[in-house]
Structure 1
Amino acid sequence: MSAPPRAESSVVARLSTLDRFLPVWILAAMVVGLLAGRLVPRLGEALGAVAVDGVSLPIALGLLGMMYPVLAKVRYDRLDTVTGDRRLLVSSLVLNWLIGPALMFALAWLLLPDLPEYRTGLIVVGLARCIAMVIIWNDLARGDREAAAVLVALNSVFQVIAFGALGWFYLSVLPAWLGLPTTGLDVSPWTIVRSVLIFLGIPLLAGYLTRRLGERAKGRDWFESTLLPRIGPFALYGLLFTIVILFALQGDAITSQPLDVVRIALPLLIYFAAMWAGSYALGRAVGLGYGRTTTLAFTAAGNNFELAIAVAIATWGATSGQALAGVVGPLIEVPVLVALVYVSLALRRRLFPSTDPALEESRRA
């Protein structure tokens, strides 16, 4: 084994080449997707012709492919150390189900008062708490994988229970109390359950079985030193594939309605930055370590765009402003949260000086 890196060495410098230049790959994927969607006739229609729970089949496959390797890395026998951390669990519930939806509601009304379709779409995005891409951001930022698995599962349970009720409250009840126009949200509990089962249940089961059967067959050392390095890069391949498809599907809309996209993007930018920074500060204030503070921040800042898009399409139609707002969500979330991955890595040495990167890397290899 090579010698441990010096304490003062850069965390970012120790990332793999694929991880270190991730912004370059993501920018290239965005450009490729935009050009393909703009230049290839009817490509968006072809990609969206077959859907899984209202989401294009290629996007669904990309999401499943990028989540599976990370969920295979989770040490499921350590989950009990997370479920006993009340500071983490309570903080996550408050951030995700009280602060997050309220903040998006406020931003949507303040910045899009004259665009009701986009405003409604953003509120729906704010109600859909993240259960997919957050796993990738957390892993890239060297967050706590076990904590991410628990918080994502917790979000999934609350999503099934609370999404419909919160939609009714933020689209009908609260606007009526404030003297604002109201709208409705026609979404069945089964739509939410189906989204959770597809986009979390399938890769979670596959990751768990891979680890369980691999460790049983050849042991943990072989599993983590031989198999995981082979399947790990496919998480980023799946991410880049998903980004290409997302931008290809909306390439024409983005380039033909740039001012609308900018109007939608502004509240999203503020939302992602505020939720991440506030959650990071809260994690630090309640005494969480680097790994769990990072996990808390990314699980609070991310959103379940798969569910938001599916609900918008089912309720208002694929060509509606609500659906466009749902699609713009991940287009803004991806570059912003990638940037925050690097912010988080840079903050580790400054705010968590007791963290030993060498020990952490050896545990997570």
Structure 2
Amino acid sequence: MRPGDSAEPGAAGPGSAGLSRLDRFLPVWIGAAMLAGLAAGRAVPGLGSALEAVKVDGISLPIALGLLVMMYPVLAKVRYDRLDAVTGDRRLLAASLVANWVVGPAVMFALAWIFLPDLPEYRTGLIIVGLARCIAMVIIWNDLACGDREAAAVLVALNSLFQVVAFAGLGWFYLEVLPGWLGLDQARLDVSAWDIARSVLVFLGVPLAAGYLSRRLGERARGRAWYEGTFLPRIGPVALYGLLFTIVVLFALQGEAITSKPLDVARIALPLLAYFAVMWAGAFALGRVSGLGYPRTATLAFTAAGNNFELAIAVAIATFGAASGQALAGVVGPLIEVPVLVGLVYVSLMLRRRLTAEES
């Protein structure tokens, strides 16, 4: 049973009595992980440098490992033989493409300029975050909100393909061309398609391949009943352990920067808060108007609101440097995204109960 699932349709999500202690108190554990990371980053000299010493595709190795551990159990739960039912849903695919690659970057561009007109480094960093569409943590949020796992796998894969093809071009448009047309300050983004493809391969390809092989080999050896009734419940909690570990490391890496520049962090946080709220609510409304059921509507909302912060941070560091304002803005992204999207999981589950009651 995944977080938010229940034996009865429409039952409560996280917080229901039948869930494990880890699931019921998820916001508490996430808050504790944030505080632990901040405290460790401030209290242990050189911890940030040690965590950054070994990197995978521009991302600290501990973060990379945490992300891979976090994503594998959820991708192992996907029923890959049902993906054709998702790929045939043209309404879902079209809505996702519009929300992610037309609306999302434009909304972040507008919010960055509205909230940070006098801070070009932070503004550029936020625009980069807006261009890096979801491929990682969104899988966790979707699962917690009882979204459609198969749909999430397809939309994440679709976003990954578009990321490789469109990221550099959209960066050029939103940082150079559009500001020039509007008479605004221009920035420059130099990133190759191979850099983006490598990030996608590491942070999606590896756990996706592991999840697919686990299901295929597990079902072949022991059958689907054993795989879903015995194996998946055993590995399920690992995803949340990976999430908590990743949060601790993220906050430890940037603990000093966050606590030494609280006003800067607050200014970066405001457009991010607006972005996550606008994108999630808009995509959820679009799903309902398009006639999608709750599971796929929730999946559309979370995939539209989430971002590929691994790629955004890697691009900002590679282009502008680890100590740049662009890199700080990239790092603040997931620090705001985590608590906001956890909150939206609960909003989504509340709407799920209401929609289920209306349809019954």
Shorter-chain TM-score range: over 0.9
Verify the 8 A CA contact 1:11 1:346 in the aligned structure 2: no
Matched, 1:38 2:5: no
1:313-363 CA distances to partner (integer Å, 9 max, x unpaired)? 00000000000000000000000000000110111121243678xxxxxxx
Q: 2:286 aligns with which of 282, 291, 295?
A: 282
Partner of 1:92: 96
CA shift, 1:20, in A, is 1.7
Distance 1:202 1:68 in 2: 9
What is residue 169 of structure 2 aligned with on the other side? 165
SS in 2 for 1:47: helix
Residues 71 and 207 of structure 2 are in contact (CA less than 8 Å); yes or no, is this contact kept in structure 1? yes
- Equivalent of 1:207, from 207, 211, 230? 211
**For 1:75-124, what per-residue CA distance to the aligned partner results, in whole angstroms no more than 9, with x for missing partners?**
00000000000110000000000000000000000000000000000000
How many equivalent residue pairs? Answer: 354
1:203-256 Cα offsets, whole Å, 9 max, x none, are 000000000000000000000000000001000000000000000000000000
Counterpart in the other structure of 1:251: 255
TM-score, length of structure 2 as denominator length: 0.96
3-state SS, counterpart of residue 133 of structure 2: coil
Match of 2:264 among 253, 260, 266: 260
Aligned partner of 1:29 among 29, 33, 40? 33
Change in Cα spacing, 1:8 to 1:176, as seen in structure 2 (3 Å) is closer
Please state if 1:126 is matched with 2:143: no
Contact 1:290 1:355 in 2 (8 A): no
Paired with 2:243 and 2:12, the residues of 1 have a C-alpha distance of: 28
Q: Distance in 1 between matches of 2:130 and 2:13?
A: 35
Give the Cα–Cα distance (whole angstroms) in 2 for the partners of residues 355 and 18 of structure 1: 31
- Give the counterpart of 1:109 among 100, 110, 113: 113
TM-score by length of 1: 0.95
76 and 97 in structure 1: CA distance in 2 versus 1, 3 angstrom threshold: same
1:222 paired to 2:229:
no
Could you tell me whether the CA contact under 8 Å between 2:73 and 2:238 is conserved in 1?
yes
Whether 1:271 and 2:275 are equivalent positions in the alignment is: yes
Q: Does the 8 Å contact 1:12/1:345 carry over to 2?
A: no
Q: Which runs of 5+ in 1 are unaligned?
A: 357-365
Is 1:337 matched up with 2:341? yes
Q: Which runs of 4+ in 1 moved over 4 A?
A: 3-12
2:330 to 313, 326, 330: 326
In 2: Cα distance, 1:278 partner to 1:134 partner = 17
| Shift in alpha-carbon separation, 1:4–1:104, aligned structure 2, 3 A | closer
Note closer, same or farther for the CA distance 1:127–1:7 as it changes in structure 2 (3 Å cut).
closer
Secondary structure at the residue paired with 1:327?
helix
Q: RMSD of the TM alignment (CA)? A: 1.4
1:154 corresponding residue in structure 2: 158
Q: Letter of the 1:190 partner, please give it.
A: W
Shift of residue 15, structure 1, vs aligned partner? 3.7
Tell me the amino acid that sits aligned with residue 69 of structure 2.
G
Identity %: 78
